[in-house]
Amino acid sequence: MKYVIDAATVEGVKKIPSRTSKLLLSEMNVGIQGFSMGQNVTDVGSRIPEHAHEDAEEGMFLISGQGRLITDEGEQDLVPGMAIYMPPGVKHSIVNTGDEPMKLVWVYSPPLPNHRKQASA
């Protein structure tokens, strides 16, 4: 069924520092327009570096591992079951503070530009 994506069948993109990101739901694979969703696995001792998404809201849900969210407003320890909201333009990073890979699901609304089909020239 074209509406179901098995994360195990999606090739991840290795990023530096040591983490893997998988785009699971997007315009390119299921035709979704309003949001995109994926999975990030950050290795022990690594991080999602500081960044911001100027034109998109981001939601995250920690599935496994432990981490620390860092923003200009402070730091928050993260454990499985916690949901995170990042408004557009807010700089943030997440450090894996645990002893196992940190796995989270992310959602962007609207989808990031690289999560959309390219316009024809």
**Domains in the chain and their CATH numbers?**
7-115 (2.60.120.10)
For the chain, give the mean pLDDT. Answer: 94
Q: Which residues contact 113 (CB under 8 A, 6 or more apart)?
A: none
pTM of structure: 0.92
Distances (CA, A) of 72 to 11, 15, 92, 107: 33, 24, 8, 21
Stretch 67-80: mean pLDDT: 98
Residue range 19-48, pLDDT digits in tens? 999 999 999 999 999 999 999 999 999 999
Stretch 10-25: mean pLDDT: 94
Q: Return the SS3 of 100.
A: coil
